[in-house]
Homo-oligomer: A and B are copies of this chain.
Amino acid sequence: MRHNLRRTCLGLLIAMLTPAAFGQPAPPPKPSIAYGEILKESKPDEWRQPDPANTLYMDLQSGRVIIELAPRFTPLHAANIRTLVRKGYFDGLAIVRVQDNYVTQWGDADGKKPLPIPGRLAPEFTLSPANALPFTPLPDGDVYAPQAGFVDGFPAARDPATNTAWLVHCYGMVGAGRDNDVDTGIGSELYAVNGSPTRHIDRNTAVVGRVLKGMELLSSLPRGTGEGLGMYEKPEQRVPIVRVRLAADVPERERVHLEVLNTDSAAFRAIIEWRRNRHDDFYKVPAGHVDVCNIPIPVRSEG
């Protein structure tokens, strides 16, 4: 933790692991390649450009948060959010809640802004049928679900017995806040997980996407103190949202061109294995396992 990640020592490591004992059968190769090397050796077609019609630019005074929506899982919420964004609903609203190790949440604190969408929406907490989804499963199990893995670049879980799947509440995932009634989450109030995965919320809200860039702008905000929930108690503590736009509505030359590694690619499978078994000079005991919320899904600037 002092210098451990500063040096990847890849060359040295590869040299050390190269079997040198003459006449001996070579041991099986170790998955010793480093993260940076995996990305470097990935192929162009292993990356995708997020759909601009499902990409949000949320501009704060501190910078831009880029969110990719997950229309396969929450199409009605994605449609609502697109409408809200295009009508300028979020512009001038604010981050109203930052609860430590829980969520950063934004919306209309006073509930006074007219909604350009209906006040109720079908829940979209799970997706079914799901057994035919392009699901990249993880080999080490999951505490909460029969299977965990990735779909479309998002962390997910599924239950083959019930033919359902759902996105899971890892760090940086974005969900739709709601009241107690399941149809009150309409996309006008959103939250992002800012600490430990809140997996107990899985299947209880619509998970609408993931922060691709700028999550640190949401996680480093002062914590609120209100109601034991991290609400900002004074209006002046709220963090204004300058505006939210769809990438598709921004001129091409002004867009932020990001690429996300496909989670069904060989390169991503190498990342899973790298994360399961670290073999650099720092790690002495490879974990041998990995959970769905402990694997970075690589995002890079295009070109």
Contact = CB atoms under 8 A, between A and B. Distances in A.
Contact of A291 (B98, B144, B275): B144
Interface stretch (A44-52, A202-210, A235-243): A202-210
A163 B192 CA distance: 40
A196 B101 contact: no
Interface stretch (A3-11, A65-73, A78-86): A3-11
Interface residues of A, number: 68
A103 B1 CA distance: 9
A292 to B, nearest CB: 9
B1 A191 contact: yes
Contact of A1 (B125, B178, B199): B178
B216 A100 contact: yes
A302 to B, nearest CB: 19
The oligomer's copy count stands at: 2
A149 interface: no
Given A143-B143, A219-B195, A290-B143, A281 B2 contact: no
A156 interface: no
Contact of A143 (B98, B101, B142, B220): B142
A15 interface: no
Contacts of A1: 103, 105, 175-178, 185, 189, 191, 201, 205
Contacts of A297: none
Nearest to A198: B294
Interface in A203-229: 203-205, 215-216, 219-223, 227-229
Q: Which of A195, A229, A290, A291 is the most central at the interface, judged by chain B CB atoms within 10 Å of its CB?
A: A195
A204 B144 contact: no
Interface in A163-199: 170-172, 175-180, 182, 184-185, 189, 191, 194-199
A116 to B, nearest CB: 19
Q: Kindly name the residue among A175, A184, A221, A294 whose own CB sees the greatest number of chain B CB atoms within 10 A.
A: A294
Interface of A: 1-6, 98, 100-101, 103, 105, 107, 125, 140-144, 170-172, 175-180, 182, 184-185, 189, 191, 194-205, 215-216, 219-223, 227-229, 275, 278, 281-285, 287-291, 293-294
21 contacts: A1-B177, A1-B205, A2-B177, A2-B185, A3-B179, A98-B220, A100-B216, A100-B219, A101-B215, A101-B219, A140-B144, A141-B143, A180-B282, A182-B284, A195-B195, A196-B294, A204-B282, A204-B283, A219-B220, A219-B223, A220-B220
